[in-house]
Amino acid sequence: MYTIHFKFEQKGLEPVTIDNIAGGQSILEVAEENNIELHHNCGMVCACSTCHLYLEKGEQHVAELTDKEEDFIDRARNPKIESRLGCQCVLNDGGSGRIEVTIPDQSLIHGE
């Protein structure tokens, strides 16, 4: 089972830690199930960059970065070396560990 610690760049949001997460789901799905706002305009199909996040710790516990994902990350606001798309960070089945992510300020996304 996994633990995901969510931090937020948006002012006024406190960190949230979610425990006992099974593999096979994405970080975006975990966020949605736990009322953590992480936009996803394309419906989780790796066709936009709105679910952009920073994977600070635990990259070995999620699917590897693909060329397609990397192309969309290049379009995200303030991409960094640890940038990923939440919809593509699928937790490895049968694994366990701690994952730490930072969600960029969602209020800066166009249309908000």
pLDDT tens-digit profile of 27-71?
999 999 999 999 888 888 888 899 999 999 999 999 999 999 999
Burial of 83 by CB count in 10 Å (0-12 exposed, 13-18 middle, 19+ buried)? buried
pTM: 0.90
For residue 101, what are the CA distances in angstroms to 5, 94, 95, 111?
Answer: 6, 20, 18, 24
Cβ-proximal residues to 67 (8 Å cutoff; 6+ apart), any chain? none
Q: How many CB atoms lie within 10 A of CB 107?
A: 10
Domains annotated on the chain, with CATH: 2-107 (3.10.20.30)
Q: How many CB atoms lie within 10 A of CB 103?
A: 23
Report residue 57: phi and psi, to 5°: -155, 140
